[in-house]
């Protein structure tokens, strides 16, 4: 269950959030689609709806249209907003406005047009049970197989799914209520070390709202961002490209390039 929280949860953090929503890096389409399938095994909706909702949140963070602001209440921001139909966000016009790039992908559009994405979740649950049943049956008979298969299903799928939900929701709730700020933003985002541990880097939320497109939320040496390290690892092995560095590094490189261009220009004139 603990391993599954990280493996499947990272499909949300790394792929849904940083790759698809903020374009912090690029993955090969085959790998991107595979990680999206793993994200679907978290039952946090389709990539199109997830991306549209999160971009909507960034556009109206902690203001009235924000779908999950803790300024309403902690419970509302954590999970209450999921229990009502928000017609301002759950409509085709919002999806087209906030996630047009996602809907252009045929694989993602097919997920939106059917309930097939739910079957990915059901299929992986069946696989968990079958693997547990086979292992248990080989070691102790059919009853042991039934017992171990059920154990893997409950802990490896159901409990892990709920745990990933609450870890994801904690970014919406806790990091807009508790913590410190490195930057002054137009919202109440905070850096929260507890959430950063649970989400392996997403808890440095004030840093993220200051610079959403950055692949890294680590702006101080001790603000460890394991998700960013994993993106860099993918880059090292050739599976990630166009990794966006933090804003201050992008500015330094841009200023250095401008100064170099001016130096070359002055040399040519001389």
**CB-neighbour burial class of residue 124 (10 A; exposed 0-12, middle 13-18, buried 19+):** middle
Task: Scan for tokens 């804003």, then name that residue.
Answer: 247
Task: Scan for tokens 């040519």, then name that residue.
Answer: 268
Q: How far apart are CA 23 and CA 19, in angstroms?
A: 5
Return the percentage of the chain with pLDDT > 90, whole number. 84
Q: Do 92 and 100 contact (CB within 8 A), yes or no?
A: no
C-alpha torsion 234→205→52→78, nearest 10: 120
User: Is residue 10 over pLDDT 90?
Assistant: yes
**CB-neighbour burial class of residue 120 (10 A; exposed 0-12, middle 13-18, buried 19+):** middle
Measured CA distances, 165 to 3, 39, 111, 236 (Å): 15, 11, 20, 30
Q: What is the pTM of this model?
A: 0.91
User: Is residue 143 over pLDDT 70?
Assistant: yes
Give pLDDT, residue 270. Answer: 63
pLDDT tens digits, 218-239: 999 999 999 999 999 999 999 9
Give pLDDT, residue 88. Answer: 82
Interval 168-195 mean pLDDT: 97
pLDDT band at 263 (very low <50, low <70, confident <90, very high): confident
pLDDT band at 159 (very low <50, low <70, confident <90, very high): very high
């Amino acid at each position: 269950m603990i391993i599954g929280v990280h493996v499947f949860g990272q499909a949300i953090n790394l792929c849904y959030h940083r790759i698809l929503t903020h374009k912090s890096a690029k993955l090969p389409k085959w790998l991107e689609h595979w990680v999206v399938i793993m994200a679907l095994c978290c039952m946090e909706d389709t990539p199109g709806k997830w991306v549209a909702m999160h971009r909507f949140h960034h556009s109206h963070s902690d203001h009235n249209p924000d779908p999950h602001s803790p300024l309403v209440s902690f419970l509302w921001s954590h999970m209450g907003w999921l229990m009502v139909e928000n017609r301002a966000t759950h409509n085709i016009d919002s999806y087209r406005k906030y996630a047009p790039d996602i809907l252009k992908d045929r694989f993602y559009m097919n997920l939106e047009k059917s309930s097939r994405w739910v079957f990915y979740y059901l299929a992986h649950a069946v696989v968990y049970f079958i693997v547990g049943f086979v292992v248990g049956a080989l070691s102790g008979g059919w009853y042991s197989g039934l017992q171990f298969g059920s154990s893997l299903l409950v802990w490896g799928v159901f409990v892990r799914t709920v745990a990933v939900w609450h870890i994801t929701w904690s970014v919406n709730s806790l990091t807009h209520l508790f913590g410190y700020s490195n930057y002054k933003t137009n919202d109440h985002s905070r850096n929260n070390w507890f959430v950063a541990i649970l989400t392996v880097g997403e808890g440095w939320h004030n840093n993220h709202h200051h610079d959403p497109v950055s692949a890294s939320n680590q702006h101080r040496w001790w603000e460890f961002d394991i998700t960013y390290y994993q993106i860099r690892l993918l880059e090292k092995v050739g599976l990630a490209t166009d990794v966006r560095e933090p804003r201050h590094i992008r500015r330094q490189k841009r200023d250095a390039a401008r100064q170099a261009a001016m130096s070359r220009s002055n040399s040519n004139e001389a």
